[in-house]
Structure 1
Amino acid sequence: MTTHWIDAAAQDDVPQDDVIGLIVQGRDIALYGVGGEVFATDNLCTHGNARLCDGFLEGHEIECPLHQGRFDVRSGQPTCPPVTSAVRSYPVRIEGGRVWLALD
């Protein structure tokens, strides 16, 4: 199966040690700049109706602004209650100064 990569943003638009939210092909996506890398997840917390881009990024963990549950931005796995379900994460590649996502 061929991976379909989608141009999501300029790499320079993703701040280091922070998160931004954007719509990519109708999906609400969070992009995280951590340690010179970029990671991507769905932007909606699995526990409550809160956008993760409004949360607090510390290292590889994003804290939901609503109930302070945390997710690992590399895998989407929950790392702190009350979150129990993972948020979907997406493969990212950087090419030509652009952030490309595989949303398949």
Structure 2
Amino acid sequence: MSAQRACSVSELEQDTPLRVELDGIAISIVKDSDDEIHAIGDRCTHGDISLSEGFVEGKTLECWAHGSAFSLETGHPLNLPAYEPVPVFVVEIDGDDVLIDPTVTKEV
């Protein structure tokens, strides 16, 4: 499969996650405070909570329910109670389009 349009760059607000679904996979897209765009799996591995409802700080996305923070770059949890990582997807920018292939995750 190839990358598909997930949203436009102009739809993204800084430090505000946007939930999208591509081929049945929920993905949280974040433009961080450095204007870098990240895409990680939207489900917290601890409580099956939508991460796009969480809080962005620096290069992390924190689950609102139990406070586990995940690295936007690696998907690894940075604190308990989560101990399993979430997938991180490759992001491509084409003009104003954010492209993601939901079948390909980053090697971290």
User: What TM-score do you get using the length of structure 1 for normalisation?
Assistant: 0.92
Determine which structure has the larger strand proportion and give its number: 1
The reply on whether 1:65 has 2:64 as its aligned counterpart is yes
User: What TM-score do you get using the length of structure 2 for normalisation?
Assistant: 0.89
SS of the equivalent of 2:26 reads strand
Partner of 1:37: 36
Larger displacement relative to structure 2 (20-29 or 49-58): 20-29
Partner of 1:7: 5
TM alignment of 1:1-104, pairs within 5 A: 4-34=2-32, 35-104=34-103
Deviation of 1:54 (Å): 0.7
Counterpart amino acid of 2:97? R
Deviation of 1:25 (Å): 2.0
Structure 2 unpaired stretches of 5+: 104-108
Runs of 4+ in 1 over 3 A off after TM superposition: none
Deviation of 1:102 (Å): 2.1
Deviation of 1:85 (Å): 0.4
SS of the equivalent of 1:12 reads helix
Deviation of 1:71 (Å): 0.2
Deviation of 1:62 (Å): 0.7
Deviation of 1:51 (Å): 0.3
Percentage identity across paired residues of the two chains: 27
Post-superposition Cα deviations, 1:32-60, rounded to whole Å, max 9, x if no partner, equal 11111110011000000210011111011
Structure 1 unpaired stretches of 5+: none
